[in-house]
Each structure stands twice: as structure tokens, then as C-alpha cells.
Amino acid sequence: MKYVDEYRNPAVVQHYVSAISQLNPHPWTMMEICGGQTHAILKYGLDALVPSNITLIHGPGCPVCVTPAEKIDQAISLAAQPHIILCSFGDMLRVPGSPDKGDLLSVKAMGADVRILYSPLDALKIAQANPDKEVVFFAVGFETTAPATAMTVYQASQQKLSNFSLLVSHVRVPPAMEVILSAPNCQVQGFLAAGHVCTVMGYLEYEAIAAQYQIPIIVTGFEPVDILRGLYHCIRQLEVGEATVENHYPRSVRKQGNTAAQSLLQKVFEIVPQTWRGIGEIPASGLGLKPEFAAFDVHSKGLLPPVAPVQVMPNDCISGLILQGIRKPPECAAFGTRCTPQHPLGAPMVSSEGACAAYYRYRAASAVAPL
């Protein structure tokens, strides 16, 4: 398949493995942004192909994983109301909220009308087909999925749909990168940036981050050749003391990004503070509906009772440290024993892009968690 097979070509993979080794690199620690990249690294064993003094750590690159518990609690509260149809992506159904609330799958099992969608635009069809119900779309994701949500809101406005609303939990990547880099215990010396986010937003915003923190940022994709190419160029920069942004995903990414998608985002959303699960509130890291679209916000419709902020996690779950790249999943005492995809303690074990799920799927047999 074009644009897949050639990026899994063993000969090209070996070329970049050899090129990295020929750099004779010093010890460096790099973080990939996206959970899709994390899964590719573990699935194809890319971390084992590079020199042992190159450390790959995993960032908060899964929007499902960083959705705060209080948002999950709000979604559960909405779904429990008999006049509401709650819609979201499939991964969201098993993400735990606060310990006494459970998850959306459990409330669905109790009879709530919770539906899995592949596109937020499908929620408009459900709203049109159920005029006596309020249809709420639980909107999550990075800048990658936000344009589709914005288009859905825009079309709902054009169609004057009064029974459609959003619970918004969209997050922006660059502010989270800055929080990680400004932490006193930061280990990150280079970033692999997520190609799908940059496809939408471009990478102009990353240039200021690279300059301020003197760190290379390499835009790359999700296949083995993409990731190894990105690692090569990141290590090359570190070895010669450079700190710039390079685009090594040109088949999808342009410097300016998708300006039409950005225009739609600016029309519908404004930048707001956002709480990230396991990290806390990050200024300017979220998207909220603009006042002119407030009629589609569940908060403005009075559909939600007050929900107290909650960040309580099981005592033996270190998902917050994992999401910040401070620890790796096998370092958690519960990994693979009390915490599995069937019985997850934290969000990174739930999501298909979560770091814990990736380690469990591809490394559970060899990973030994401390007891």
C-alpha cells in the first residue's frame, strides 16, 4: 500500500539504524509526543534498534488519557439523564472518572443511551432523528480532531438545531510541551512532534519553543521509517548543538498547516485554560466554544449539576508520572497485575493509544514490574 509499505521497508529501517550508530552519539533522552508513535516504537521494537545510550520516553500524547476525571464525571452525569443521548468516541467509554463514579460503559450497561461515533457529524443526524432528546457530543482530542468538532458546531448553527450540544475537552499540544520543558525534573532533550497535529496546525508555534528552551523538535510520522528518520535528525542536531524545528513528514505537513481548518477553529473556538489528567491545569492549553456558539455548550444549557474537581487516583497508579514522561509503565507496581486493559486503574491502560496499553500489548511478557 503506497505511503505504508515503503515506510516499513526493512532496508530503509536498517539504513537509519546504521546512520544513527555512525553518529556515535552521546547519551540523549528524547520524547515522542503522540501515543500512536509510542505504539509504533514498541510494536516494531525501534527503541531496541538504536544505541543503548539513547533513551525514548513517552509524553502525554493521548487525548483520551489526559481527559480529567471531572470531565468524565460530567459525561456520566449527562448520560444518566433519561432525556439525553450521549455520544463520543469508543475509547472514552472505559476511561475511569472519580472512584465512586465508574465509567461511561458502566452507566451504559445500566440503561443509559450512550452511543459510539466515528465522526462528530453523525451526532447531528442523531439529533435530527430524535427531536425529543438532547444529543450531547463529548468532544475530546488534540488539534487533529478539533476541526471536525468545529464543523459540527458550525453546521448545527446553520441548521438551527436546538437539541444538540457539546461537552468540550479539546487540548492543545504546544502548551503541554512547555510545561514539561519548564519542570525542574525535566529529562527531555529533544522532541518528536506529532505529524497529524502539525498537518492541521503547522509548526510555526514550535519554533519559539525550540528557540526558548534550546531543544530540537522534529516533526515526524507514525511508521518505523518516519520515527527512525526523526530520531536520526534529532540526535544529529543534539550532537552538533543545534536547536531548530525540522519537518520530516512532508507528505502530510506544511509549515503553515491547513489554514482552512485553522480558520474554522478560530471561528468556533477560543483558547482557554484546560486541566490535564495527571498534570493539572495548563494555561492556554484548551479550546472552548466562543460566546456566539454558547447555545451549543452543555454548561450554558444548564444540563450539568456542579461537579467538584477530582484528581483522586488509586494509590498504586502512577499514571500522572507516566503521562509526564517521568516514569515508564513497567515501573508501576500494578502494571500487568492489578492493572490490565480488562481491569484498568488509570487512563493510559484504557486508551488504544495509551503508553501502558502499548507496553502491555507488546512488552507484557518481558516487562517485569517491581512488587
Per-residue pLDDT reduced to its tens digit, 196-232: 999 999 999 999 999 999 999 999 999 999 999 999 9
Confidence band, pLDDT 50/70/90 cuts, at residue 308: low
The SS3 call for residue 155 is helix
Residues 71, 120 within the same domain: yes
Residues 356, 265 within the same domain: no
pLDDT of residue 309: 57
Residues 173, 43 within the same domain: yes
Q: Does residue 38 fall inside a structural domain?
A: yes
Residues 47, 132 within the same domain: yes
Asked whether 305 and 327 are in contact (CB, 8 A), the reply is no
Residues 286, 345 within the same domain: no
Following DSSP, what letter does each residue of 301-312 receive, concatenated?
Answer: TT----------
Q: Does residue 369 fall inside a structural domain?
A: no
pLDDT of residue 245: 98
Nearest one of 175, 151, 168 to 289, comparing CA atoms: 168
Cell of 361: 500489548
Residues 285, 329 within the same domain: no
Residues 77, 16 within the same domain: yes
Q: Does residue 70 fall inside a structural domain?
A: yes
pLDDT at 313 over 60: no
Average pLDDT over residues 1-5: 72
Confidence band, pLDDT 50/70/90 cuts, at residue 1: low
Least confident of 11-25, 107-121, 150-164, 320-334: 320-334
Residues 168, 285 within the same domain: yes
Cell of 331: 515501573
Q: Does residue 193 fall inside a structural domain?
A: yes
Residues 245, 330 within the same domain: no
Domain assignment of residue 325, given as a range: 319-363
Residues 227, 178 within the same domain: yes
- For residue 137, what are the β-bridge partners? 87, 166
Confidence band, pLDDT 50/70/90 cuts, at residue 283: very high
pTM of the model as a whole: 0.91
Kindly state the percentage of the chain with pLDDT values over 90. Answer: 71
Q: Which residue has the higher pLDDT, 273 or 353?
A: 273
Confidence band, pLDDT 50/70/90 cuts, at residue 366: very low
Residue 267, domain CATH: 3.40.50.11740
Half-sphere exposure of 86 (CA within 13 A, CB side): 30
Residues 303, 356 within the same domain: no
Kindly state the percentage of the chain with pLDDT values over 70. Answer: 94
Q: Does residue 150 fall inside a structural domain?
A: yes
Burial of 121 (0-12, 13-18, 19+ CB in 10 A): middle
Q: Does residue 356 fall inside a structural domain?
A: yes
Residues 210, 236 within the same domain: yes
Q: Does residue 182 fall inside a structural domain?
A: yes
Domain count for the chain, please give it. Answer: 2
* DSSP H or E stretch at residue 225: helix 224-240
Q: Residue 309's CB: how many other CB atoms inside 10 A?
A: 11
Q: Does residue 368 fall inside a structural domain?
A: no
Q: How many residues does the chain have?
A: 371
